[in-house]
Structure 1
């Protein structure tokens, strides 16, 4: 029985690896379970053992980029110094891009290979909820920084938080298009500093 569980786990991982590769190459609509099975070296039977359908497998793939960010949000609390909390958040978000291949591949599929159709609506609903949570978290950083520094900035904290979110997404997207363009691993502290600069905007 132990061997069977180990074999099942290995097959499941082969399916996930194959799906990451093919969704990344062909997008959601251009990838079939037959193609994934061929890439994984199995029949479609083992895929259906682990996943109800292609949609559920796609949800699993996108979760590789969604779950780490959800975890970062969950770790934030109001006792943290806001500048330090924002710095750590941005640093971990960006570090995952070159430290975690599954996170990177999943994020690239989300940004560049996902068709916004009804068939992938559960994954997109999770992504929309994550976006709201990220902006809410960043707004909390802004509000606590302003309280501590007695800042009189006029811009709404949600607007600033949206700019912070857009900044990290922009850095992420540009790096995925051409990793040599911004040399993220070498210049990560610069990008973290610029993220915090948005938080501290006097506007």
Structure 2
């Protein structure tokens, strides 16, 4: 009986998160109430507070159900992170392109990223969402800076600006591409244009991908 109760609680939690994704996508986060989510999930408002402290906690739990591909690729211990020791530039570039391709192919991931980028206002009870966003961004910039620093060392070059600033520029480029693509995914092919502009940016840093990589 205890196991069944636990499974039922997990099922309710997933229904609430699924309902939140759907409503946040349709209405935006600030215009969706916890009661709206409970009703859509066939649950009570009390069920929401059993699983989540508030809307920000629910939002962050929704985000944690998907692993953003660039974060995953650069995490210590991942195959991509281990490959950095051999070819930091090639692996950083590949990680970014994998992330863009996955975003294009995975509708669920794309929906959650669209909510995070286009459908949330960092006001009132959503300050915790902003804090999480900043934490994820800062960690990603540190990982990119580490890769750029290592790539420059492997190439026997010196970056034209500090690695952290170079990483912030590259992150802003990726972020801007994704935001504009999400506005209208028919405007351009995200992985194709992403590869072109990222290679131009890396070349501007004095780092050029190997010819074989550019032709992939």
**What is the TM-score when the length of structure 1 is the normalising length?**
0.84
Deviation string, structure 1 residues 134-191 (Cα, Å, up to 9, x no partner): 222222222222222222442332232122111111121122111111133xxx2552
Match of 1:57 in 2: 58
Aligned length: 200
Task: Indicate how the Cα distance of structure 1 residues 80 and 192 shifts in structure 2: closer, same or farther if over 3 A, else same.
Answer: farther
The correspondence of residues 87-106 of structure 1 with structure 2, limited to 5 A, is: 87-106=93-112
Q: Is the 8 A contact 2:28 2:119 kept in 1?
A: yes
Structure 2 regions of 5+ residues with no counterpart? 207-216
Q: Aligned to 1:19, what secondary structure does the other structure show?
A: helix
Kept in 2, the 8 Å contact 1:62–1:123? The answer is: no
Deviation at 1:68, TM superposition (A): 4.8
CA deviation after TM superposition for structure 1 residue 69, in Å? 4.4
State how far apart, in whole Å, the 2-side matches of 1:31 and 1:172 are: 24
3-state SS of the aligned residue for 1:154?
coil
By how many angstroms is 1:106 displaced? 2.0
Q: Deviations over 1:78-118 (max 9, x none)?
A: 51411221122102321331343332222111211111224
Segment drifting more, 107-116 vs 73-82: 73-82
Q: Which runs of 5+ in 1 are unaligned?
A: none
CA 1:43 to 1:118, structure 2 compared with 1: closer, same or farther past 3 Å?
closer
Say if 2:201 is the partner of 1:198.
yes
**RMSD (Å), alpha carbons:** 2.4
Which is further off, 44-53 or 189-198?
189-198
Flag the structure with more relative contact order, 1 or 2, with Cα contacts below 8 A and sequence separation at least 6: 1
